[in-house]
Homo-oligomer: A and B are copies of this chain.
């Protein structure tokens, strides 16, 4: 029998990905090491060879999620010379696209923040870092937009970025309990309409491309 069925990197990756999957579904505290091993198709020997503890893989899962986020958002976040509002709009499109995937729209950082946000565990700092990363990227876009287009109202980019982050996390929280991503899409539409009040006259740049869901329907 071939004992080493794949490269150690693949084994490690499959363990982290299994952890991410389980966190998304039931949180980290409720996730057992044995469960992670079963999901990854390896034994505990492999687990504790690659990770010193359960805590260790928890931190790895947060980091993995953060790096994946960087990749997914990079088309909007990376400064390629396009208008910052166009890029902000693209970010909202990317967020919208999450709701159209087969798997539920949930977030590892949101889960871990909720579970450990008030504890002394290292997860707290890890989550804070990832949330901070997201917020800073969005704040940068908003600051650039503010410089380029004279905003209609005074606003602090970081405050608005925090608002978008809160709305995003809260949307996923409520939507998953309701079992339908529609609420997230509606909230993204409201976020758009709010951003439009900050940048009046930029409706063309901040318009949702695929109008599957109408914003603010019914009178």
A127 and B163 alpha carbons, distance in the complex (Å): 24
Q: Please pick, from B106, B127, B190, the residue contacting A177 in the complex, using a CB distance under 8 A.
A: B127
A218 and B156 alpha carbons, distance in the complex (Å): 6
Interface bracket on A: 35 or more
- Asked if B128 contacts A177 (CB within 8 A), the reply is yes
- Asked if B113 contacts A216 (CB within 8 A), the reply is no
Report copies per complex.
2
* A11-19, A66-74, A80-88, A164-172 - interface stretch: A164-172
Find chain B residues with CB under 8 A from A131 CB: 174, 177-178
A175 and B217 alpha carbons, distance in the complex (Å): 31
Q: Please pick, from B119, B153, B166, the residue contacting A171 in the complex, using a CB distance under 8 A.
A: B166
Q: How far is the CB of A118 from chain B (nearest CB, A)?
A: 5
Binary flags per residue of A208-219, CB closer than 8 Å to B gives 1, else 0: 000000001111
Q: How far is the CB of A101 from chain B (nearest CB, A)?
A: 15
Asked whether A160 is an interface residue with its Cβ less than 8 Å from the other chain, the reply is yes
A156: nearest chain-B partner, CB-CB: B218
Binary flags per residue of A172-213, CB closer than 8 Å to B gives 1, else 0: 011111100001001100100110010000000000000000
Asked whether A5 is an interface residue with its Cβ less than 8 Å from the other chain, the reply is no
Asked whether A124 is an interface residue with its Cβ less than 8 Å from the other chain, the reply is yes
Q: How far is the CB of A146 from chain B (nearest CB, A)?
A: 9
Asked whether A58 is an interface residue with its Cβ less than 8 Å from the other chain, the reply is no
Binary flags per residue of A112-128, CB closer than 8 Å to B gives 1, else 0: 01111111000010011
Known: A156-B218, A171-B170. A114 touches B117 (CB 8 A): no
> 10 A-B contacts, Cβ less than 8 Å apart?
A25-B118, A27-B29, A29-B30, A113-B176, A115-B115, A117-B176, A153-B193, A162-B186, A166-B170, A170-B170
Residues of A within 8 A of B (CB): 24-27, 29-30, 104, 106, 110-111, 113-119, 124, 127-128, 131, 153-156, 159-160, 162-163, 165-171, 173-178, 183, 186-187, 190, 193-194, 197, 216-219
5 nearest CB pairs, A to B = A170-B170, A166-B170, A117-B177, A29-B29, A114-B114
